[in-house]
Structures are given as C-alpha cells and as structure tokens.
Amino acid sequence: MVRGAGRGGRGMPGRGGMGRPPFSRPRVLMLRPPFDLILAEPAFPRCKPAPDDSALTQALLKRHTELCPTPTEQAAVLSLITKLQTVLDNLVVAPGDFAACQLEEVRQVGSYKKGTMMAGKNVADIVVIMKTLPTKEAVEGLSNKVNEELNKLMRAEGLSPVTCASHERGFTVTAAAAVRVLVTTLHQNLRKLEPEVHLDYKVISSHLAAIRHSRWFEENAHHSSIKVLIRLLRDMCARHAGLEPLTPWMIDLLAHHCIMNNPARQALPINVAFRRALSLLAGGLFLPGCAGLPDPCEAAHSRAHTALDLVAQDHAAATAQTLLRVVARGGHRYVLGLQAFEGGKDISTEITVWDGVVVSPLAPAYSDTPEPMDTDDKDEEGTQDGVAA
Amino acid sequence: MMAANNYFGFTHGGTQYGAATASAAYGGQTGYAVAPAATAATYGTQRAAATGYDTAYQAAAATQAAHAHAHAAAAAASAYDASKSAYYQQAAAAYPAAPPQPQPTYDATAKPAYSTPATYAQGARGSGGAKAAYGSVYSAPAPAASYPSQPYSAPAQPAKPLYNAATMYVAQQNKTGGGGGWKNYNKSGVGAGLGRRPKPPPKAQQLHYCDVCRISCAGPQTYKEHLEGQKHKKKEAAVKLAAAGGGGGGARACGASALRCELCDVTCTGADAYAAHVRGIKHQKVVKLHTMLGKPIPSTEPVKLQPAKKTVAGAPKIAFVASGGLSTVGCSADCPPGDKEDEREDDADAEPEVQPVGQDYIEEIRGDDGKALSFNCKLCDCKFNDPNAKEMHMKGRRHRLQYKKKVQPDLEVKVKPSMHQRKLAEAKAQRMLVRDELWARRRMHDGVEEDDRVYWEGADWWRGPHHHHHHAMGMGYGPVGRRPETSDDRHVLAKHADIYPPEQQLQDIQRAVSHTEKALKSLSDALADQGKLKGQPAKVAAKVDDKKEEKPEGKEDGRDNQLFSFVGEGEAAPSGSPATPGPGTAGARALKGVMRVGLLAKGLLLRGDRDVRLVVLCHDRPTVTLLKRVAADLPHHLSRVKGSSEEPKYKVELLPAEGAVSVSDGSVNVLVSLTSAIMREPAEGGDIKRDDKDVLPRQKCLDALAALRHAKWFQARAASLQSCVIIIRIMRDLCRRIPNWTPLNPYAMELLVSGVMQSAGGALSPGEALRRVMEAAAGGLLLDHGPGLRDPCEKDLVDALGNLPPQKREDLTASAQQFLRQIAFRQIHKVLDMEPLPKVKHAAGNWKFPRKRRRSNTDQDPDTPNGDNKVVKKEDNSE
C-alpha cells in the first residue's frame, strides 16, 4: 500500500525493473563456497577415532617419488632452457639486424618454473613478450633466428643441433629436452589482434595469464606440500577421463586451497589434503552455481572453473565422486596409479566391490536441454546477459 | 592594398554595372553577365579582373560577404543609403551563420571601398529609374515586377551556394594574399583578362557549372540533381564553414609545407601529394572544363544563360559566367594541381623524410622471366605494378597505419582527425555524458526502490508458512535477508508447500494433543489429591482453588512445546529435590509434567503424519502399575476435558512394552510415554532396582528422555537457523520417499542439516541450503572415515549415525552426489520429485518485475503497467 503511493508519486510508473544493470548483478555475489569439511569442523566435531591413514600417506609419498623427474631429465631441461634464455635475452637487449619482431621481455613459466614438472614430461615453457604484434611471419622469423643462434651455441659446445617447429602457440625447440616458446604481446596490443593476421587472441592472452600464474605461484604456493599435491593430482587427473579437462592452473589453485586454506593457516598433511581435494571436487566445487575457486590472476569475481564447459564440469564432478568413494573403501592404490586396475581400465567408470560393499559410478546429470540455462545464478554468462536485456 | 584595389575595382565595375542597369539593356539577370564583361573591358589591368571572375553580381556578393564578415550587418547597412541597405541586409541574411569578426587591417583597407559605393549609389540613383530596378533585384523578399522570372525571389536555399562560392573566393584571396602563388595567379589572370577582351560571338553552348564543386553538368536536369545531391550539399556546408571560421580556407591547410591547388580547391600537404593531384584525372578534368569555359568561350552571353534560369530554381549558380576563366587559366597554368580526394587523405601527411616500413610484408609477383611484375602488400591488401608506387605506398599514411595496427603498435603515424571523426567523437562523448547522468539519477531512485522492494519481498517470502498456525514452528525463522529468489528456491518452497500438513490435519492433531494434555493434568491433580488426602486433607481444597484462579495466567496445555508442568507453585519446593526416591512420598506428585516431543515439538509434521508423542515426566521410576492406573483413568478425564461435545471419541490403549499409553481419536494417535529423570542415574546404584519387575522397560524410558532432550536441542539450536526447518521437512520427505535415504535416522538427519546450516556462516536461502546439505553428504561427510555426527545431547562422544552399515553409507553418499549434480544442472525437480516449475516470466534479470506488478496491481489499474513498460523500454533502447 505504501509502495503503491510512493511509486505513483514518483511519476515514473512502470519503471521498476527495466534495464537496470547495476541491480541484476547481486546474483553473481550470491554464489557461495561449497561445503568444506575442513572449514566446517566446528560444526562437525569428530566423535569417533580418526581412521588410520598411514597406508594412504605412504602410497601418496611413494607415488610422488615416481612422479618426480629424474636428475638427467632435469639437467637436460636446465641446459636447454639456459641456452635458450641466453639467446632470447640477447635478442631483447641487442636485436641487431633482427627485424622480424621486437622483443620486450622473456619469462619462464609453467611447470618448470613452478617446480612441478612431472617425470617423462620434460617440456619447459618460456613466454616471449613481443613489443610488436605477433604476426605469423614474426613468429616464423623469431623461430628461425632462435634456431640459428641456438645452433651456434650448440656447435660451440659440441652438442647435437636443436630443431625448431612452429605451431599456433609459438614454436618448440627440441633437443634432449624440449622448450615451448610461447609468443605473446604487450597487454595494450591485445585488442589490435586480428584473427587472420596474428596468432589467436585466446592463445596470446593465455600466455599472458601464464606469466601472472607463475608470479602468483612464486609468491603464494611455494610450499613443498603444494607441489607434491599438484603432481599427484595432475597425475590422477591425467589418468581419469572425467578429470582430464581440468587445466594445470585449476589444479594449482585446488592444491593450494586444499593445503593452505584452513583455519590454522598451516599446511595440512598430504593425506588430509588429498582427501579434501577429492571431497571438494565431489562436493561440487567445480559445478555451476558454486563459487568455486576465485581466480587470483583475473579480474574480480572470476572463477577458475568456468573455463570448463558444462558437460566437462558434470563429468569431472561425477568422476571425483566415484573416486572419493573408491578411496573411502581403500582403493587409493588404484586411484593413485600405483596399481593398474584390471588391465588399465578407468576405475571411475567401473563397478567395483570392496569387502562386499559395491561402489558404482554415477550417471551424468547434465543433458542438453532445449532451453538454455540462463535464468539465474547458475552461470555467470546468464546473469551478465541480464544486464543487456 | 590588394583588397583596396579590389574594392576600387568593384566600385568601378559597380558603376558600370549601375549604368548597365540603368540602360536596361537586359531583361532579366543577363545584366549580371554583361556587367563584368564591361568591367573587364574597361579596367582590364586592375585587380577588378577578379570581379570579372564571376558575374558582377557575384563580385558584389563577394564583397558583400567579406563585408559581412568584417562588420556587423547593421554597420554595413548604415554605410549605405536606404535603397542599398535592403540589398545588404538581404545578403547578410543569407549568411546568418557568419559571425561578425572584426578584422582591423581589412577594415582599414576596405573603408575607402565602401565610401565609393556610397557615392556610386548616389550616382546610380541619379541615373533615374534604374535605381528602382536595381533595388528590386537585390531585395529579394519582394520580387520586383521588373523581373518576373526572378530567381532571387525563389527561396533563399538555392541562392546560397552562390554566396558561398563568392565567399570562398574571397577567402582564397585572403589566405593566399601576399603569397607568390597569388601574384602569379593575379598576373596570369590579368593576362588572360587581356586576352579575353575581344568578345567572340555568342556560342550556343549551355553549360551548367557548379562553382562549389567545380564540375559541369551535362544538362539542367543533371545539374539540378547535382545540386540536390549529398555530395554537393556537403561541400557547400564545408565551404560555408570555412568561410565562417574567420581564417577562411586557410584553416584547412595544415603546416607550412601545404600546397594548394586553387583550381580544385584542394590542399595538399606535400609536394608529392600535390604532384599526384596535378597528374590526377580529376584535376585534369577541371582544367579542361575551365579551359573550355574560360579561354575559348568568353561566354559572357546573356541570352545563352537565360533559359537555364527559367528552368532551374537555383539558377544563379547555373549562370556561371565564363569571365571567371580569367583567373581559371592562371590557376591551371601555374598551380599544376589536380585533385584526388582519397589521395589527398592518404598522402596528405606523408613527409619526405618518412622511412618506408613493412618491406617484409610486400610480396613481389614475378613473371616468367623473373622480373617483378607487380607487388602485393599483405598488410593493406593492395597491389601495384610500379616499384615507385610501391615505394610511395610504403611511405604512405595508410600503409603505415596498417603497419602500426598489425605489426608495430608504437610506430608513429601522424594522425589527422577528419572533421567527420571529430564530430563522431564529440557526439559519443556527449552520449556518454548523458548516459552517465541518467544512470546516476536512476541509481538514486533505485536505492530507495530496492530497499523498499526487498523489505516487502522478504515479508512475502514467508507468507505461506505463516498463514498456518502451526504452533510448533512459530519460532526460529524470520524473513530471509535480501536476496532474490532463485529457481531452486522456488522449487524448494513449492515442494515445501506441498508437503506441509493441511490446516485441518494440524487442527485435529492440536485438539487431540491438547485434550490429552489437559486430561493428564487433571489426572495428575486427581492423583495428587488422592495422595494428599491421606496426609493433609485440610489444605487440599484451598490449593485446588488457588490453582484454578491461576489458570488463566498459566498455560492450559503444552502448546509452546515447553514442559507443561502439572505442579502448582506451592508444591514446587518439595518436588525440586527428587534425590531420595520413594514411592508415595508425601508432597510429591507422581506425574510432574508432560511435554511434546518428536515431530510435534520440532514442527516437522508433514502431510499425512498421524502419530505424535508426549512424554510424561514422573516423580519416581514409572511403574507398570502407574501406567495401568493412567490408562484406566484417562478416558474419564478426557471426556471431562473435552466437555459435552460428543465429537471426538477417544480410545485409550495400554502399551506396556512401549512403556506408554496410546490415545487415539480415530485419525490422530497420541503416544504418551512415561519416564523419569531418575532412570538415567542408576548407572551406579541401579542394580538395586534392576529386579524390580514393576518398572517400565528401561530402554523405552531412556528413549523417551532422549526424545525430550532432542526436542529441547532442536528448539534451542536448529529451529533458529535460517531455512533449517524447511530443509529438514524437505529431507524428511526425501528420506520417506527414497530407499537409499531411509536408513538415515531422523535425529541424525536433523543433526546433519543443522550442522551444515550452522557452518555456512550466514543465512542461506532454501535452495542454497538444500544444495549445501547435498554437498556435505556428497563430499563424504557420512562415509566411514568421516568425523561422524556428534550427538550434542550426550555427554560422551556418541555418533548419532550409530553403526550405519558401510553399504548404506556408500549408497547414501552416491545418492547425494547424484542429487547434487542434478541440483547444479537445474534438475532440482528430480531431486524433489515434482514437476518443474515454469520459469519466471522476465527471466533475464527481471525476476522482480512480475511480483511487483502483482502487488501494485491490487490497487491500480491492471492494464496500465504493460503500456508503461513498453514505453520505458523504448526509452532505454534509445539511450
């Protein structure tokens, strides 16, 4: 009654709700973090003795040693990347007659930089920031130049020559180890990119993001436990189809969250953190409508897992849910890959029996509905569209 | 000096002209054409030749224009006599946009000129009737009779270009004045003028020349079309602007290196560009045209032009008089210019010292003999055959821009914002400003509106449950905070409304419970009276009276879900210390009080629930004897309590194995358990009474006590949590429906839900709350390695889940995991086992609209908001 009068008095009948961008936003803020047992401990005090988790801990540590790269591998990568860095640094400082492009900066990124390299994957990443725009010709030119210079160095040391192969992200230098040279450009050049002339915008900006990620990692995630957990999780994700779409960056964030984000702010033991990671994934951390993990390297309110599409989100959650129950029944050796499951089958898709308890995989929940899910807070895109309407 | 010359020239010309007018040699405007010819003839060597460039009238107009610029119109008017002022005023009127800009130097030189016309005017007047004709020609507003087909009487519109042309002409003079180019121009003009002096016989050639665009048209029709065309109008506007902007045409030329092609009115910034222009076809055309018009054709043929005037409204422009050729020739001879609009744009800023860039991006296309045939610039997507052109291109502005855009963003390219771009930018800034302001204003309104809305909405949210007076749930959840209702919320609330017991059922239960409680009270009184009658018969009556008086203040039954004590105030003391148990102790009631427990106390009744529980606290260990006594007496007391009405027929049943009596009215079963606090204690001294066969089964009594504590815990902790009661009801329904969830005992479920709510650290909407419960279960909270659910009502660590078998835990977790993903992917209706609700109408961000409208429609015309809605939408779009 009061409001009716108030609205009439304002002389703008019917204005409410029409195209008011600022006020359709709160939905984004409404997203809340998922249930996290570690943080909810006061509400759920342990009332029975903690299970003996030493078996899991042992298995985790054992698997981790398997996953660490061997000294030979490390040495090979180190030697190659040092030379490459020298060559590129020279190009930055004194380009000389090299005119294909101008380099601004060269940075190491990725698992090599973070110290989370895995055995058998001795590929380091290095990002080259160009001052000029990254045309395909420029990348080709840089590739040739690097190849030339690097082979000069190699010859000087009597080593076998390297090869350079261009691809859509830059080029890869291969010798005993491999270094991917990822090409990007200055931030202010991003909007000048054109798809047919330059490298793809997404690729370029992902390389810029990689730089931010390494920087964040250096500052926040240097704890060894985090690196251990990252290796274990990456390995686990690689071996289970549903978890494969998780990007290294999501895994980094997840591992950091699991180890460090607890009331005491002390690193959690690896077994607790591992269970927590599975439990969070199973509890819908990376499902739509969940706050997920905020991406510290992007603008506010961006969530790490939105890079996954909905099918992948569903599949990842379902896989983690099955794995959680498998681990709970003592099947961690299979989950960690210490033991192959029935000739290399994916345990997350099989019905298994543990001491008479049947653990079965779950059906996907997401289906392509004819009407898109855009009404409210389920996906950010939807809410932002609401602004435009 | 030159300007002065000019004016002098004009003066003379004017005089001549006046004479011509006086002689009335021409019927229409032809006179204009004649006059300049005469001027040229008489004062060929003078600068007055410039006036010959156009018709005499045009020259006059030019002077006029200059004057209008130099002085205020009023001043101009005052300088001349009355008959002329009309003319000037009209001219001034044709230049409404021209700001009167005082130009002192110009003024000084101009003055003598002005004085002369004044005398001239007198002279003209002296020459008789001509004056009248003259005046009428120029004071266009009144179309004079002497010029029946007078084009000047036509609307001012077509006349403008001519004025403009004149203005521009003057402006050119101003700009280039003193420059070498000008001198040449002048001289050659003079020469040409001399050469042109002999009048060739009139050629029957109709030329439709637009002075503004410097093109000729094939016929009157095309000419007219040209005049109405976009291009022409643009030029015209530009010219006008240039003239208006004080500096005149010179304003456009940027830098000292600017070269100008006077013929085409094109400014080139460099020698290269200029050369290119001169070579250009456009320039060549103009030269040709002018040559044709000027040199070979003196074209001061009045007769020839007349028909054109008749046919075309904008005649003055058509009447280009070839005397202009005088200057034209000079121009074409010496400023080699040509014109190419685009070229001018591209190359204008290219400076000679610019380094060519982007060599890598230019492909050479070679012929069979290996000779470069052509070049292809990949950046600009263009081809050239000529290596020179390639060089030019690489230095060119367009190429450099492309290079900057695509390769090296820090390359410096001179930016020359065109008039168009600047206008666009200005318009954009303007729009932004307006929009910002609008938003700011709207936001202010909305701040208020939003508060308002949320307040009401919040109240509205809970309206459903509040309607039912289910006393058990009166407490605990107030309006939810400010958050919009999501689809999940709507589903949960709809489901909740569905499972919530109907009013009738609640009333039935309420009545049965209330009657039972009152009957028990009455029974307790009777028992107490009986006991006291033995000891202190005197006091009893008084006490009973007291109690009866107190009744209105005290409660009648256990409707607030707290213990309904049977003990009156006076008796409280003795019963306070039940430490020494003994049957039949004087002063202690056998039945101390009754309390609602279980679903009833917690407010968790669902549709179809019929069984409720009461717990009667006994002073002493409850015995079978006591239970039998209660069972036997209760029907009597029940009938007394319910009064005379026959309606509910209560049936009382003794259930010794349960340690309870059941009261049933046919639809509702009330289970009354007897228990005592003492039952928990005999842990130490219990063995004494263990063999007491008369005592009710211990476990049942303990259960009843636990139920009592659970009810109290629930009221104290769970009910106060946001959404908790709703979700527990929903979960009860879920446990009832889904076999995987059935093993979860109700108390454990309540503990789970309340724990989840409590850990959320803030209010949750119903949809979020349900999802969070599922998250907790899906995350493995209930699995074997989990922490278990600690029972807060026990001193020891007791897991409320008890020994739930592993397979059940597994199934429960798997089910919760599936449910969680279904909720996440908008299939909450599957979890709740209901039909999906239709979407809110304005799904895209306008969720609040329909609600609002519904409410405001109750006191407004329901049709108006739709209309308004549309209007507002349009406004928004137009922003």
**Comparing A340-344, A353-357, B500-504, B714-718, which segment has the lowest mean pLDDT?**
A340-344
**Tens-digit pLDDT profile for residues B318-348:** 434 444 334 433 333 344 444 444 444 444 4
Highest mean pLDDT among B229-238, B335-344, B655-664: B655-664
DSSP annotation string for B370-420: S-EEEEEETTTTEEES-HHHHHHHHHSHHHHHHHHHHT-TT--------HH
Closest CA to B468 of B746, B747, B729: B729
**Comparing A346-355, B158-167, B174-183, B458-467, which segment has the lowest mean pLDDT?**
B458-467
Residues 6+ apart with CB under 8 A from B641: B515, B518, B519, B522
Q: Do A48 and B755 touch (CB under 8 A)?
A: no
Contact indicator for B800, B523 with CB cutoff of 8 Å: no
Hey, of B754, B775, B796, B866, which one would you mutate to test binding to chain A, going by the most A CBs within 10 A of its CB?
A: B775
CA B1 to chain centre: 62
The pLDDT-based confidence of B257 (bands split at 50, 70, 90) is: low
Hey, of A7, A103, A321, which one would you mutate to test binding to chain B, going by the most B CBs within 10 A of its CB?
A: A321
Query: Which residues on B lie below 8 Å from A277 (Cβ)?
Result: none
B813 touches chain A (CB under 8 A): yes
Phi, psi (degrees; rounded to nearest 5) at A39? -80, -25
> Cα–Cα distances in Å, from B141 out to B72, B125, B138, B149, B730?
21, 21, 9, 14, 89
A145 touches chain B (CB under 8 A): no
Contact indicator for B646, B629 with CB cutoff of 8 Å: no
**Comparing A259-273, B468-482, B521-535, B603-617, which segment has the lowest mean pLDDT?**
B468-482
A351 touches chain B (CB under 8 A): no
| Angle made by CA atoms B472, B475, B480, in degrees to the nearest 5 | 125
Question: What is the number of residues in chain A?
Answer: 389
Please give the structure tokens belonging to residue A229: 């957990």
The pLDDT-based confidence of B539 (bands split at 50, 70, 90) is: very low
Q: Is the pLDDT of residue B95 over 60?
A: no
Highest mean pLDDT among A7-16, A176-185, B129-138, B145-154: A176-185
Q: Is the pLDDT of residue B413 over 90?
A: no
Contact indicator for B700, B673 with CB cutoff of 8 Å: yes
Q: What percent of chain B has pLDDT over 90?
A: 11
**Tens-digit pLDDT profile for residues B841-861:** 544 444 444 444 444 333 434
Mean pLDDT of B552-581: 53
**Comparing B33-37, B591-595, B673-677, which segment has the lowest mean pLDDT?**
B33-37
The pLDDT-based confidence of B462 (bands split at 50, 70, 90) is: very low
**Tens-digit pLDDT profile for residues B751-774:** 999 999 989 888 888 999 999 999
The pLDDT-based confidence of B266 (bands split at 50, 70, 90) is: confident
Mean pLDDT, chain A, as a whole number? 84
Query: Which residues on B lie below 8 Å from A280 (Cβ)?
Result: 779
What's residue A225's pLDDT?
94
Q: Is the pLDDT of residue B667 over 50?
A: yes
Please give the structure tokens belonging to residue B688: 């004494």
Mean pLDDT of B251-269: 63
Q: Do B406 and A192 touch (CB under 8 A)?
A: yes
What's residue B534's pLDDT?
54
What's residue B710's pLDDT?
92
Phi, psi (degrees; rounded to nearest 5) at A211? -65, -45
**Tens-digit pLDDT profile for residues B777-789:** 999 999 988 888 9
The pLDDT-based confidence of B359 (bands split at 50, 70, 90) is: confident
Q: How far apart are CA B118 and CA B85, in angstroms?
A: 11
Hey, of A38, A325, A326, A374, which one would you mutate to test binding to chain B, going by the most B CBs within 10 A of its CB?
A: A325
Least CB–CB distance from B759: residue in A40, A280, A362: A40
The pLDDT-based confidence of A184 (bands split at 50, 70, 90) is: very high
Q: Do A137 and B361 touch (CB under 8 A)?
A: yes
Highest mean pLDDT among B251-265, B464-478, B483-497, B735-749: B735-749
Q: Is the pLDDT of residue A248 over 80?
A: yes
What's residue B91's pLDDT?
42
Which 3 state secondary structure label does DSSP give B645?
Answer: coil
Phi, psi (degrees; rounded to nearest 5) at B148? -60, -45
Mean pLDDT of A194-203: 87
Please give the structure tokens belonging to residue B729: 């009801």
Predicted TM-score (pTM) of the model is: 0.60
Q: How far apart are CA A71 and CA A76, in angstroms?
A: 9
Q: How far apart are CA B421 and CA B416, in angstroms?
A: 9
Orientation of helix A310-328 relative to helix B806-824, angle to 10°: 170
Residues 326-345 of chain A whose Cβ lies under 8 A from any Cβ of chain B:
328-329
B458 touches chain A (CB under 8 A): no
Q: Do A289 and B771 touch (CB under 8 A)?
A: yes
Please give the structure tokens belonging to residue B796: 């020891």
Least CB–CB distance from B810: residue in A359, A364, A365: A359
Q: Is the pLDDT of residue B507 over 60?
A: yes
Mean pLDDT of B284-291: 78
Q: Is the pLDDT of residue A6 over 70?
A: no
Instruction: Give the pairing of strands A357-359 and B208-210.
Output: unpaired
The pLDDT-based confidence of B562 (bands split at 50, 70, 90) is: confident
Q: What percent of chain B has pLDDT over 70?
A: 49
Query: Which residues on A lie below 8 Å from B843 (Cβ)?
Result: 374-376
What's residue B794's pLDDT?
86
> Cα–Cα distances in Å, from B217 out to A85, B53, B222, B258, B262?
70, 20, 6, 30, 21
What's residue B644's pLDDT?
65
Mean pLDDT of B813-840: 90
**Tens-digit pLDDT profile for residues B5-23:** 444 434 443 334 433 333 3
Place of tokens 């953190």: A273
Mean pLDDT of B827-840: 87
Mean pLDDT of B619-631: 86
Mean pLDDT of A276-297: 92
**Tens-digit pLDDT profile for residues A121-156:** 889 999 999 988 888 888 999 999 999 999 999 999
What's residue B862's pLDDT?
39
Q: Is the pLDDT of residue A87 over 60?
A: yes
Which 3 state secondary structure label does DSSP give B240?
Answer: helix
- Determine the residue of chain A that is closest to B781 in CA distance: A37
Q: Do B756 and A43 touch (CB under 8 A)?
A: yes
